[in-house]
């Protein structure tokens, strides 16, 4: 029994236990303990995070000539850590007041199912991360897809149902592309074992590699929600019940990136991808993928800007941030991939924190609609603080951790000589900053609405994980070396030179980054400003929150002034014409095409003369027969009576 | 071993005796049918136990002591024995139990049993034709006897199509006979590389494929499927979709392996299979009621089967057998669930609240049907995809792209239905045609038990993946082994080419 | 090939084509069944011809023929046996088909295949509880078919 065996077995048994105990009230406490224990088991493998040897599972299955095996390496360990910690925090988050309210609003059964869905997600992700060959990777992949589907389908609303069904169709398309790629890989290299496939890849021609890469990227890209497959993700994640959304927003969509790192980066190798020229253009395959990443940062982020619901805004951001990760990985040098992989961790921290704050707001106010929120900062100051910390991280501003990974990606783009991609990434970041401001402004700033005057701070069970995440965001921002250690180990695991780093940041000849210094200078600056302000006068006047006017009218306390409808109207006036819903129209066109084809095919089965089809198929078959063999052999025995001649 | 013949003789005898016995005692006639089925099962299990060597070595039984090629013979290997077992078992499972059933229906069921067993065991073309025709007549009558006007009309249209198909098949058999002068499969197999490897041989394959294809739900001679399945009871639909279509497929495959070495024969099957998959799934996407959806999904699955068997080599054979066996258990189980869910799909709104267990079974079954790992259906799809991608021909490449598209369409309509089932009650009341709405009834315990045991079987296979895959490999290698067939029927020759009896 | 064989073969093929054409072109189910009979007859004839020798004798080996086997030309018995079986089966199927036609006539009141199919679709839709496939503006009146059916029931009573 290896530690990996222990971990997988423990999680599997825990799933069974949670399924069995889902109706009991103590289930929430139980699940927190489960995730904590699983995390402890994972920490026992922490040598992996610092360059240890892979841990193999002793369990293998021999099926149809394939040996299915499972193992953990540094990359799996890194993703597993994020998974388990997100699950632990999400479970803690829903164990208290939120869970009780959820039970009351839906049912105890529904809450139990949410816990079941969470543990199944965790289990399937661990299975995926542990996969040791392409077939077990596919099995894990599908398990993750269906576990996510279960989580999404728990919300019985019509919108959520639609999102879930859309998700599962997209996921199936991705899985099928993946399966096709696996089948081809098997036939081209004769095996599905990582090592043997890696050796076999060396003998393949560029066109074969191009086909494989396109299929694999399509499969993984659908899960990641990259352009043009981005339509499903946001709605599906946003409509997942609160604590579920925390978990899924943090890690679920990143499984695509994990598989991409394993297959495209580790097995096929980015040098092979870069060697594929796209005909009639000056691009190669790697550039194309990088551009897909860049477009994914831009388009979903600007779609997020238009959302009028906090959950949807965040979920669209999740899609956009996936683009950064892809972009970083596709730069293929040690700094870029480090940025891409590190962004997974950073994004998980602040996305989880943001979903928690929004869920807390929903818990207290019952809505996440921007038009019905505002001014909550006076009522929920701690939640506000967590959100501010997180959006600073999301926007990539020091001293939070999002800055470090984005800095790495920008730096790699500049060093690599990709100014256009750099500009694209900056445009994406601009959109991020605009929309996170919209989030914090419309939720917490402005004047408090009348109906929210009784709102109190979020309960402690929800605050603790939120504050914990805020501390992580800040701490890993100031000391990114902690995470970069793991990232470097993961880079070695996928065959890329590890990034040179120290506790404070990156060591680079062309100018490194030391976050301890950056933070120090920032706070020094703040301190100087504060001293100047307070020592030299400190003239400020306290006015009441409602002491203001608009359009020359003084507002009474009955009218709450909060600018949230048509937010960024001026900006939208400029860029509004760019939103053309091209992809939505494309999707509709596809559905119409299927519908048309379906009506067309139905006519085969509605002929009034049943014999007509028999006659047609006989004639066609005979035509096929005659056409295939030519007329040469007809003379061999065309006379029906000629068998004894 | 020789009492394998009783598998055909006893039910045939019972079929004709039952109406006579019923004149004196109805109860006796009913028990007669059932006891014959039980005896059949006992015989097969006995054979299976006695001769463990079936796994590696097949057995040929010369009827009446006349040796082939002049005499007729039954050929018993793993796959034919398995299907011979499946026939009485499935007939028993889908036996029309209710008291009101007329004795004639039981008699027809026995005829169906006899002819189905004969079809799968027969070792020569003549008997295959005869048993196929018997099977056809039994199924036309069974459909028509369901009583409703629609059933009779559907059955008549089925009869026209089936008769023309069997005329085509007869023509194909005649061509084969004129070319080789024999109808014994093993003998034909010896002669085939020389005498059937030409355009006439291919033509006869096309004709036989058309004829058999009617039963095997081959595109495009399958337009009877939605009409017939829509108008008969779920039991009969389950039997026809689950068992009879598979028997026809296995016979076609056996003929293909033994008689028709041409690659064009495989291509023809691949083209028709692809058309079946895509049209079946597309039309199922539009279906408004559950049974129709299942019928078209069945057409699509049979298309997959044909596509799989059209892949040359072991991989295709394994994929084909896997899909056949999988579909053979899953589709009847789905039809059993359909008994409780007749009527428009919209009527199933919120059904998950009323019968959660049935819906859970439904989900497990369709997940396997869709090929979600690690359920057995996945391994079948995996083999199919690997097999398709190992071939160079453009048809197989097309197939490799069509199959995923079909699966995506399939998941769309199946999960649309699941979402309807999980809808909150009272939310969006189904507004269809209020005066012709059929409320969902509850399931029979028997139907649920069948569905549950199938689901349990699927999960058991997942747990026993390794032995199951070994078994599949041995089935496939035995089915595709021509030399074994020849040397089993003609033990005196092994490699020497046998002289023509003429 | 002797002239008589040409005539017989073209007759058999002609019969098959007539039968197939009838099945494709006719609308009356009874005539379709007759066309099926003709098709089967044509194919059976073709089969018989495949084993037929112009100078052949019945395939029964008499003791006095044992001496010079090679000199005898026999008709091939296997196609004859095959055709005999096919005829028997064909008759069975035709009888079944006729019985069905009678039932269809009694229940739908028509022998027109187009109408039967439409009525069948209508019935299937009603049975499964979905909206009927024919729109209200369709020129084919299914309601009249229903009425006919009802009136038939009255006749029977």
- Nearest in space to B117 (alpha carbons), one of B92, B73, B84, B76: B84
Distance of CA B69 to the CA centre of its chain: 28
The chain C residue lying nearest B230, using CA atoms, is C124
Interface contact flag, A624 B206, Cβ < 8 Å? yes
The pLDDT tens digits for A481-505 are: 899 999 999 999 988 888 888 888 8
Q: Give the pLDDT of residue A447.
A: 80
What is the tens place of the pLDDT at every residue in B141-163? Answer: 988 887 778 888 889 989 988 99
List % helix, strand, coil for chain A (3-state, nearest 5): 75, 5, 20
Distance CA B232, CA B152 (A): 10
Compute how many other C-beta atoms are within 10 angstroms of the C-beta atom of residue A195: 11
- The structure tokens 């103590």 sit at A26
Q: Sort out which chain C residues have CB atoms less than 8 A from A639's CB and list them.
A: 1
| Contact call for residues C15 and B167 (beta carbons, < 8 A) | no
Beta strands in A43-146 (DSSP E): 55-56, 61-63, 66-68, 71-72
Contacts of B444 by beta carbon, 8 Å cutoff, 6+ apart: B339, B340
* CA B112 to chain centroid: 13
* CB-neighbour burial class of residue C133 (10 A; exposed 0-12, middle 13-18, buried 19+): middle
Of the pLDDT bands very low, low, confident and very high (cuts 50, 70, 90), residue A645 is very low
Burial group, residue B104, by CB count within 10 angstroms (0-12, 13-18, 19+): middle
| CB atoms near residue A41 (< 10 Å) | 18
Record the tokens describing residue C152, joined without a space. Answer: 């038939």
Angle at B10 between CA B4 and CA B13, to 5 degrees: 145
- Band (pLDDT 50/70/90 cuts) for residue A638 is very low
Backbone φ and ψ for A533, nearest 5 degrees, come out as: -65, -50
Residue C150 has pLDDT above 90, yes or no: no
Domain boundaries, chain B: 1-122, 124-426+441-485
Give the confidence band of B493 by pLDDT, cuts at 50, 70, 90.
low
pLDDT at res. A640: 35
- Residue range C61-99, pLDDT digits in tens: 777 767 776 777 777 788 888 888 889 999 999 999 999
pLDDT of residue C154: 45
Residues with Cβ within 8 Å of residue A34, at least 6 apart in sequence: A11, A14, A17, A18, A91, A119
Stretch C33-55: mean pLDDT: 86
Q: Which of B264, B282, B321 to mutate to test the interface with A (most CBs of A within 10 A)?
A: B282
Q: Which two tokens stand for residue B471?
A: 């078994």
Contact with chain A for residue C117, Cβ under 8 A? yes
**DSSP 3-state of A553:** strand
B344 reaches A (C-beta below 8 A): no
Q: What is the mean pLDDT of residues C137-151?
A: 49
pLDDT band per the 50, 70, 90 thresholds, residue A78: very high
Mean pLDDT estimate for chain B: 84
> What number of residues does chain B have?
502
Q: Chain B 189-228, CB below 8 Å of chain C: which residues?
A: 226-227
Summarised one tens digit per residue, pLDDT across range C94-135 is 999 999 999 888 888 888 888 888 888 888 887 777 766 655
A512 pLDDT above the threshold of 60? yes
Give the E-state strand segments of B394-437 in sequence order.
none
Q: What whole-number distance in Å separates Cα of residue A362 and Cα of residue B411?
A: 34
Strands A71-72 and A501-502: unpaired
User: Which of A18-27, A414-423, B55-64, B166-175 is predicted with the least confidence, judged by mean pLDDT?
Assistant: B55-64
Closest alpha carbon within chain B to A149: B415
Q: Taking residues A450-470, report their average pLDDT.
A: 89
H/E run at residue B138: helix B125-144
For chain B positions 23-52, those within 8 Å of chain A (CB to CB) are none
Chains in contact with chain C (at least 3 beta-carbon pairs closer than 8 A): A, B
- Tell me the CA distances in angstroms from B162 to B135, B221, B330, B481, one per residue in order: 11, 9, 26, 31
| Confidence band of C157 (pLDDT split at 50, 70, 90) | very low
Which pLDDT band, with edges at 50, 70 and 90, does A631 fall under? very low
Q: Report yes or no: A337 and A71 within 8 Å, Cβ to Cβ.
A: no
Facing residue for C100 by CB, picked from B156, B230, B437: B156
C79 touches chain B (CB under 8 A): yes
Q: Averaged over B352-358, what is the pLDDT?
A: 82
Give the gap in angstroms from C-alpha A616 to the nearest C-alpha of chain C.
10
Phi, psi of B440 (to 5 degrees): -65, 130
Number of CB atoms found within 10 A of residue C108's CB: 24
A-C Cβ pairs (cutoff 8 Å, strict): 27
Q: Does domain C1-57+74-108 sit in CATH 1.20.210.10?
A: no
Average pLDDT on A64-84 reads: 90
DSSP string covering B45-113: HHHHHH-GGGGT--EEEEGGGPPTTTS-EEEE-HHHHHHHHHHHHHHHHT---STT--HHHHHHHHHHH
Q: A30: which residues sit within 8 A by CB, 6+ positions away?
A: A17, A18, A21, A24
Low-confidence winner among A78-92, B225-239, B438-452 (lowest mean pLDDT): B438-452
The answer to whether C120 contacts B154, with C-beta atoms less than 8 Å apart, is yes
- Quote the tokens at residue A188: 């081209």
Tell me the pLDDT tens digit for each residue of A340-392. 999 999 999 999 999 999 999 999 888 888 888 888 888 899 999 999 999 99
Q: Is residue B308 a contact partner of residue B316, using CB atoms and an 8 Å limit?
A: yes
Residue B320: pLDDT band by 50, 70, 90 thresholds? very high
- How many Å separate Cα A24 from the centre of its chain? 32
Contact B207, B178 (CB under 8 A): no
Cβ contacts of A2-6, under 8 Å, gap ≥ 24? A2/A55, A2/A56, A2/A57, A2/A58, A3/A41, A3/A44, A3/A45, A3/A55, A4/A45, A4/A55, A4/A56, A4/A57, A4/A70, A4/A71, A4/A72, A4/A130, A5/A57, A5/A58, A5/A59, A6/A41
Lowest-confidence segment of A132-146, B267-281, B421-435, B446-460 by average pLDDT: B421-435
Say yes or no to pLDDT of C59 above 80.
no
Kindly report the backbone phi and psi dihedral angles of residue A635, in degrees, each rounded to the nearest multiple of 5, phi listed first. -70, -15
Q: CA A465 to CA B172: how far, in whole Å?
A: 75
Lowest-confidence region among A23-37, A541-555, B159-173:
A541-555
ipTM confidence score: 0.89
Do residue B230 and residue C29 have CB atoms under 8 angstroms apart? no
Band of residue C151 on the pLDDT scale cut at 50, 70, 90: very low
Beta strands A55-56; A71-72: pairing state: antiparallel
CA nearest neighbour of A318 among A241, A408, A404, A390 = A390
C-alpha angle A514/A517/A523, rounded to 5°? 140
Tokens of B406: 């079909």
| Mutation choice for C interface testing from B167, B180, B340 by most C CBs within 10 A | B167
With CB atoms and an 8 Å threshold, state whether C49 touches A641: yes
**Contact check, Cβ <8 Å, C129/B291:** no
pLDDT interval class at A325 (50, 70, 90): very high
Q: What's A546's DSSP letter?
A: T
Mutation to test the A interface, candidates C1, C11, C24, C54, most A Cβ within 10 Å: C24
What average pLDDT does range B344-351 have in this prediction? 78
Q: What is the pTM of this model?
A: 0.89
Predicted confidence (pLDDT) at residue B133 exceeds the cutoff of 80: yes
| Phi and psi torsions of A55, nearest 5° | -100, 125
Distance (Å) from the C-alpha of residue B4 to the closest C-alpha of chain A? 32
Q: Residue C9's closest chain A neighbor by CA?
A: A640
CB A223 within 8 A of CB A322: no
Name residue, tokens 């900056």: A426
**How far apart are alpha carbons A626 and A639 in whole angstroms?**
16
Give the residue extent of every domain in chain A: 157-523, 581-613
Which residues, other chains included, contact A631 with Cβ-Cβ below 8 Å and sequence gap of 6+?
A: none
Does C40 have pLDDT greater than 50?
yes
DSSP per-residue letters across A562-596: ---TTTTHHHHHHHGGG---HHHHHHHHHHHHHHH
Cα–Cα distance measured from residue B248 to residue B135, given in angstroms and rounded to the nearest whole number: 10
* φ, ψ for residue B374, nearest 5 deg: -95, 20
Q: How far apart are the first and last CA of chain B?
A: 31
Contact C43 B231 (CB under 8 A): no
Smallest CA–CA distance, residue C104 to chain B, in Å, is 6
DSSP secondary structure letter of residue A549: E
Task: Please state, rounded to an integer, the average pLDDT across all residues of chain A.
Answer: 86
Q: Mean pLDDT across the stretch A101-117?
A: 88
Q: Which two tokens stand for residue A36?
A: 């904590």
Q: Which of B326, B303, B301, B306 is nearest to B475 (CA)?
A: B326
Give the per-residue pLDDT at A545: 66
Cross-chain residue pair C113–A640, CB shorter than 8 Å = no
* A643 within 8 A of B181, measured Cβ to Cβ: yes
Size (chain A), residues? 645
How does residue B102 score in pLDDT terms, banded at 50, 70 and 90?
confident
Tell me which residue of B312, B316, B322, B186 sits closest to B255, measured CA to CA: B186
How many Å apart are CA B289 and CA A5, to the nearest integer?
A: 47
Q: How far apart are CA B155 and CA B145, in angstroms?
A: 9
3-state SS string for A139-189: HHHHHHHHHHHHHHHCCCCHHHHHHHHHHHHHHHHHHHHHHHHHHHHHHHH
> What's the rounded Cα separation, in Å, for the pair B360 and A392?
45
User: In the prediction, which pLDDT does A203 show?
Assistant: 86
Report the pLDDT value the prediction gives residue A632, as an integer from 0 to 100.
37
Mean pLDDT of A530-550: 76
Domain with CATH 1.10.287.3510 in chain C: 1-57+74-108
| Best A162, A222, A618, A620 residue to mutate vs chain B (most B CBs within 10 Å) | A618
């Amino acid at each position: 029994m290896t530690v990996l065996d222990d971990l997988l077995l423990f999680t599997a048994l825990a799933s069974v236990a949670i399924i069995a105990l889902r109706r009991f009230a103590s289930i929430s406490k139980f699940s927190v303990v489960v995730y904590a224990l699983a995390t402890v088991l994972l920490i026992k493998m922490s040598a992996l995070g610092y360059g240890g040897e892979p841990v193999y599972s002793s369990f293998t299955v021999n099926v149809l000539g394939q040996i299915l095996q499972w193992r953990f390496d540094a990359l799996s360990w890194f993703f597993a850590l994020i998974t388990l910690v997100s699950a632990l925090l999400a479970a803690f988050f829903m164990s208290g007041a939120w869970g009780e309210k959820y039970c009351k609003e839906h049912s105890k059964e529904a809450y139990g199912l949410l816990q079941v869905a969470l543990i199944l997600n965790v289990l399937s992700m661990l299975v995926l991360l542990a996969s040791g060959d392409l077939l077990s990777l596919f099995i894990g992949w599908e398990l993750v897809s269906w576990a996510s589907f279960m989580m999404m389908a728990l919300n019985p609303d019509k919108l959520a149902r639609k999102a879930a069904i859309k998700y599962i169709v997209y996921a199936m398309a991705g899985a099928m592309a993946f399966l096709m790629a696996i089948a081809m890989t098997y036939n081209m290299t004769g095996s599905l074992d990582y090592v043997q496939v890696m050796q076999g890849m060396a003998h393949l021609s560029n066109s074969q590699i191009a086909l494989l890469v396109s299929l694999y990227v399509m499969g993984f890209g659908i899960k990641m929600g990259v352009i043009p497959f981005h339509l499903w993700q946001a709605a599906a994640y946003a409509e997942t019940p609160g604590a579920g959304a925390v978990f899924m927003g943090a890690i679920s969509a990143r499984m695509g990136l994990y598989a991409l790192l394993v297959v495209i980066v580790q097995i096929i190798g980015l040098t092979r991808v870069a060697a594929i020229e796209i005909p009639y253009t000056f691009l190669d395959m790697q550039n194309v993928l990088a551009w897909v990443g860049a477009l994914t940062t831009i388009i979903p982020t600007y779609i997020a800007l238009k959302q009028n619901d906090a959950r949807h805004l965040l979920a669209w951001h999740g899609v956009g941030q996936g683009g950064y990760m892809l972009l970083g990985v596709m730069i293929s040098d040690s700094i870029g991939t480090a940025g891409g992989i590190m962004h997974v961790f950073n994004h998980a921290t602040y996305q989880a924190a943001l979903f928690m704050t929004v869920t807390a707001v929903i818990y207290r106010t019952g809505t996440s609609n921007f038009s019905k929120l505002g001014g909550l900062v006076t009522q929920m100051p701690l939640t506000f603080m967590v959100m501010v910390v997180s959006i600073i991280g999301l926007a990539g501003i020091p001293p939070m951790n999002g800055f470090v990974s984005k800095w790495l990606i920008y730096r790699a783009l500049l060093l690599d000589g990709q100014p256009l991609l750099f500009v694209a990434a900056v445009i994406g970041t601009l959109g991020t900053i605009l929309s996170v401001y919209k989030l914090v402004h419309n939720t917490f700033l402005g004047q408090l609405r009348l109906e929210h005057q009784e709102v109190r701070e979020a309960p402690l069970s929800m605050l603790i994980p939120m504050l914990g995440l805020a501390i992580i965001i800040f701490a890993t921002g100031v000391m990114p070396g902690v995470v970069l250690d793991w990232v470097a180990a993961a880079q070695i695991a996928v065959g890329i030179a590890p990034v040179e780093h120290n506790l404070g940041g990156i060591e680079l000849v062309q100018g490194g980054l030391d976050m301890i210094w950056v933070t120090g200078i920032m706070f020094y600056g703040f301190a100087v400003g504060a001293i100047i302000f307070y020592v030299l006068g400190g003239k400020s006047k306290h006015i009441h929150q409602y002491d203001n006017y608009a359009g020359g009218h003084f507002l009474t306390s009955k009218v709450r002034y909060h600018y949230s409808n048509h937010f960024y109207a001026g900006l939208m006036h400029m860029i509004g014409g760019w939103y053309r819903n091209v992809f939505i129209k494309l999707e509709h066109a596809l559905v119409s095409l299927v519908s048309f084809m379906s009506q067309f095919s139905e006519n085969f089965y509605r002929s009034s003369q049943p014999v007509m089809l028999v006659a047609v198929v006989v004639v066609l078959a005979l035509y096929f027969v005659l056409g295939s063999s030519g007329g040469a052999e007809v003379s061999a025995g065309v006379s029906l009576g000629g068998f004894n001649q | 071993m020789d009492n394998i013949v009783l598998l055909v003789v006893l039910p045939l005898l019972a079929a004709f005796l039952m109406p006579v016995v019923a004149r004196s005692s109805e109860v006796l006639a009913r028990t007669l049918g059932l006891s014959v089925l039980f005896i059949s099962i006992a015989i097969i299990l006995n054979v299976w136990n006695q001769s463990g060597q079936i796994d590696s070595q097949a057995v040929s039984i010369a009827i009446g002591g006349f040796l082939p090629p002049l005499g007729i013979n039954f050929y018993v290997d793993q796959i034919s024995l398995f299907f011979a077992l499946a026939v009485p078992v499935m007939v028993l499972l889908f036996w029309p139990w209710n008291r009101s059933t007329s004795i004639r229906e039981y008699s027809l069921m026995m005829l169906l049993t006899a002819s189905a067993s004969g079809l799968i065991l027969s070792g020569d073309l003549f008997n295959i034709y005869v048993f196929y025709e018997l099977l056809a007549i039994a199924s036309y009558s069974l459909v028509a006897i369901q009583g409703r006007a629609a059933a009779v009309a559907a059955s008549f249209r089925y009869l026209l199509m089936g008769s023309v198909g069997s005329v085509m098949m007869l023509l194909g058999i005649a061509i084969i006979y004129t070319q080789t002068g024999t109808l014994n499969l093993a003998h034909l197999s010896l002669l085939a590389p020389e005498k059937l490897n030409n355009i006439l041989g291919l033509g006869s394959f096309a004709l036989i494929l058309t004829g058999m294809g009617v039963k095997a739900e081959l595109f495009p001679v399958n337009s009877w499927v939605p009409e017939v399945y829509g108008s008969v009871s779920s039991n009969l639909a389950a039997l026809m979709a689950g068992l009879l279509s598979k028997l026809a497929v296995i016979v076609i495959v056996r003929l293909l392996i033994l008689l028709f070495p041409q690659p064009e024969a495989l291509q023809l099957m691949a083209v028709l299979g692809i058309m079946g998959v895509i049209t079946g799934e597309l039309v199922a996407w539009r279906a408004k009621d559950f049974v129709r959806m299942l019928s078209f999904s069945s057409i699509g699955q049979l298309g997959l089967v044909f596509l799989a068997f059209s892949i040359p080599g072991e991989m295709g054979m394994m994929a084909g057998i896997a899909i056949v066996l999988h579909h053979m258990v899953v589709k009847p189980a789905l039809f059993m669930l359909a008994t409780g869910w007749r009527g428009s799909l919209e009527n199933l709104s919120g059904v998950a609240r009323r019968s959660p267990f049935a819906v859970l079974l439904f989900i497990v079954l369709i997940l396997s049907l869709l090929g979600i790992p690690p359920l057995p259906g996945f391994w079948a799809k995996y083999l199919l995809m690997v097999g398709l991608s190992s071939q160079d021909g453009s048809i197989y490449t097309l197939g490799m792209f069509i199959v995923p598209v079909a699966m995506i369409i399939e998941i769309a309509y199946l999960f649309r239905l699941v979402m309807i089932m999980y809808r909150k009650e009272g939310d969006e009341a189904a507004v269809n045609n209020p005066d012709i709405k059929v409320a969902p009834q509850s399931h029979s315990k028997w139907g649920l038990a069948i569905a549950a045991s199938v689901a349990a079987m699927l999960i058991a296979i997942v747990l026993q993946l390794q032995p199951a895959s070994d078994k599949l490999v041995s089935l496939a290698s035995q089915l595709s082994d021509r030399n074994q067939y020849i040397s089993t029927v003609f033990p005196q020759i092994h490699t020497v080419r046998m002289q023509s009896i003429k | 090939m002797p002239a008589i064989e040409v005539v017989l073969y073209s007759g058999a093929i002609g019969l098959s084509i007539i039968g197939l054409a009838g099945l494709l072109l006719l609308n009356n189910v009874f005539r379709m069944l007759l066309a099926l009979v003709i098709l089967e007859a044509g194919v059976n004839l073709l089969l018989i011809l495949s084993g037929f020798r112009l100078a052949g004798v019945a395939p029964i080996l008499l003791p006095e023929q044992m001496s010079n086997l090679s000199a005898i030309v026999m008709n091939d018995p296997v196609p004859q046996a095959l055709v005999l079986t096919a005829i028997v089966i064909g008759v069975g199927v035709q009888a079944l088909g006729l019985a069905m036609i009678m039932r269809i006539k009694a229940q739908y009141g028509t022998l027109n295949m187009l109408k039967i199919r439409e009525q069948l679709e209508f019935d299937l839709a009603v049975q499964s509880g979905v909206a009927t496939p024919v729109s209200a503006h369709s020129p084919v009146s299914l309601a009249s078919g229903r009425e006919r059916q009802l009136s038939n029931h009255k006749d029977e009573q």
